[in-house]
């Protein structure tokens, strides 16, 4: 018997109906939108320091003001309600809650998030709180940062403060956002804060992020409401070999270990993959992994957050330097420890303003793989979206048909994966607002809502109106 969903999936131009209860939302991150960098006790994070260092960020941009969400949060929540979003994924700024990364919480910082969460709940929008989206307190970096075990322990203490304050309101929690970027771009290639370039430090950071995740889940379970959901968000790389040859297949295996299994292994299986340890044995003996760490890292999760933008294509290389084409920013230092003989390749076809290939088949393949590897773990797309060169026309409208096409095609891939058996529970569009795009400054616009940075004016783009209808109805229109 052919179901209605299967019939719909087989007709590419037909509308697609998502399952009842599918969660529709959008996402942001604290440093990218909040601003108010020195208000109410907030102290510098590693991104404040990095952005203020000449030459690190395009045009010398910083997040000091960003989109001024700290003062305009009511306006932003009203926009979410207007767009009919069912959920909002945001991150807590560690230095706004615990400025030095140690000691008691600052109540003014917690009060900001209390007000935000209360307003979301009043508007019928589910708050989804991420504890860490890359803004480590600078004082903890000065003490060694993520390569040091103590940072994981401090993260668990900070998690307890946040959970005690918000655990009666927030039902859905994410420990870390994209720890791969924190470890390997922050401590390997240096294109993200704190800008260090030490491959062993990157591997140490990855381990202590795994440990921090596990400790944070335990802290959450001890404090939040009984029906709360705990998760982690990983930017799982969909890695493809350039050719069908054995050498390229081995290159893909090597990058898959460094990009994906370095986190899914400890967090979901309680062990590092043996091939990863072998590939990096010339760099470290992994003695920083102590007895009990992997049991701590592996904690039961309610779902896995998946961030996807573009696939990764690799081959074996004759020399080093291939990492400069990996889509993660240019640096003479590699974010791929032990993978010097791997080259990265630009996939064919259309690209976004980031230079990333538009390929929704990668998202379908990724969801199917995760469903096969972890069949009892639900999935949520916690980030998916695209940057384009948006502008407001003389009438104040922002038309972005390329973004509509991108999101439509990726949602079609999600729907197809669901029909084929993937347990996908929700989708969060990145991002709600144009914002500070890390080392790219304000030069890349991912938002569904256009922000005029000099005035802070918000203008919903055509894609926001389009996505609003999808979120309200749960139906993806045909092309």
Tokens of 112: 């900001």
Q: How many CB atoms lie within 10 A of CB 372?
A: 10
Say which of 34, 119, 148, 383 is annotated catalytic.
383
Say which of 119, 141, 178, 437 is annotated catalytic.
178
Catalytic-residue membership of 122 = no
Close Cβ partners of 431 (under 8 Å, ≥ 6 residues apart)? 26, 27, 28, 32, 385, 446, 447, 448
- Is beta strand 229-234 parallel, antiparallel or unpaired with respect to 172-177? parallel
Tokens 């950071």, residue located? 205
Distance of CA 355 to the CA centre of its chain: 18
Which alpha helices (DSSP H) does 54-180 contain, by range? 69-83, 94-97, 107-122, 138-142, 149-166, 179-180
- Is beta strand 475-476 parallel, antiparallel or unpaired with respect to 16-17? antiparallel
Tokens of 124: 């019928």
For the stretch 441-444, contacts whose Cβ atoms lie closer than 8 Å and that sit 24 or more positions apart, written own/partner, are 441/57, 441/58, 441/59, 441/60, 441/61, 442/59, 442/61, 443/58, 443/59, 443/61, 444/353, 444/354, 444/387
Residue 87's H or E segment, with its range, is strand 87-91
CA distance 181 to 337: 13
Catalytic-residue membership of 383 = yes
135 three-state secondary structure: coil
DSSP class of 63: S
CA distance 261 to 288: 18
Q: CA torsion angle for 290, 185, 310, 415 (degrees, to 10)?
A: 40
Active site residues: 178, 383
């Amino acid at each position: 018997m052919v179901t209605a969903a299967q019939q719909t999936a087989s007709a590419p131009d037909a509308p697609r109906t998502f399952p009842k209860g599918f969660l529709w939302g959008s996402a942001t991150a604290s440093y990218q939108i909040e601003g108010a960098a020195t208000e109410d006790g907030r102290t510098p994070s590693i991104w404040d320091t990095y952005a203020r260092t000449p030459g690190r960020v395009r045009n010398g941009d910083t997040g000091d003001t960003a989109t001024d969400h700290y003062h305009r949060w009511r306006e932003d929540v009203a926009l979410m309600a207007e767009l009919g979003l069912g959920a909002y994924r945001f991150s807590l700024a560690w230095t706004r809650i615990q400025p030095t990364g140690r000691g008691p919480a600052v109540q003014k910082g917690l009060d900001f998030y209390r007000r935000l969460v209360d307003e979301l709940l009043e508007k019928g929008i589910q708050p989804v709180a991420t504890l860490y989206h890359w803004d480590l307190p600078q004082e903890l970096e000065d003490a060694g940062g993520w390569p040091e075990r103590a940072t994981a322990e401090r993260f668990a203490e900070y998690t307890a403060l946040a959970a005690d304050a918000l655990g009666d309101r927030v039902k859905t929690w994410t420990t870390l956002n994209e720890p791969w970027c924190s470890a390997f771009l922050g401590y390997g290639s240096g294109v993200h804060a704190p800008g260090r370039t030490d491959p062993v430090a990157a591997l140490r950071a990855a381990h202590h992020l795994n440990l921090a995740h596990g400790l944070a889940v335990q802290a959450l379970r001890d404090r939040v409401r009984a029906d709360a959901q705990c998760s982690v968000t990983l930017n799982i790389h969909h890695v493809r070999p350039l050719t069908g040859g054995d050498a390229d297949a081995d290159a893909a295996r090597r990058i898959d270990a460094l990009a994906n299994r370095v986190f899914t292994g400890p967090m979901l299986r309680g062990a590092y993959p043996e091939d990863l340890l072998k590939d990096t044995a010339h760099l470290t003996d992994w003695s920083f992994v102590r007895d009990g760490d992997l049991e701590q890292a592996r904690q039961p999760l309610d779902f896995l957050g998946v961030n996807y933008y573009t696939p990764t294509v690799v081959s074996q290389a004759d020399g080093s330097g291939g990492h400069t084409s990996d889509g993660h920013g240019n640096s003479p230092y590699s974010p791929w420890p032990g993978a010097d003989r791997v080259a990265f390749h630009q996939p064919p076809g259309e690209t976004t303003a980031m230079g990333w290939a538009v390929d929704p088949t990668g998202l379908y393949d990724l969801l199917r793989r995760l469903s096969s590897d972890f069949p009892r773990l639900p999935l949520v797309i916690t980030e998916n979206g695209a940057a384009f060169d948006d502008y407001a026309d003389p009438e104040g409208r922002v038309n972005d048909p390329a973004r509509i096409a991108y999101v439509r095609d990726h949602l079609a891939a999600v729907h197809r994966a669901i029909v084929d058996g993937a347990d996908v529970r929700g989708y969060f569009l990145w991002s709600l607002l144009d914002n500070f795009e890390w080392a790219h400054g304000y030069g890349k616009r991912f938002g569904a809502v256009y922000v005029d940075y000099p005035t802070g004016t918000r203008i919903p783009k055509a894609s926001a109106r389009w996505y609003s209808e999808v979120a309200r109805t749960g139906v993806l229109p045909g092309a």
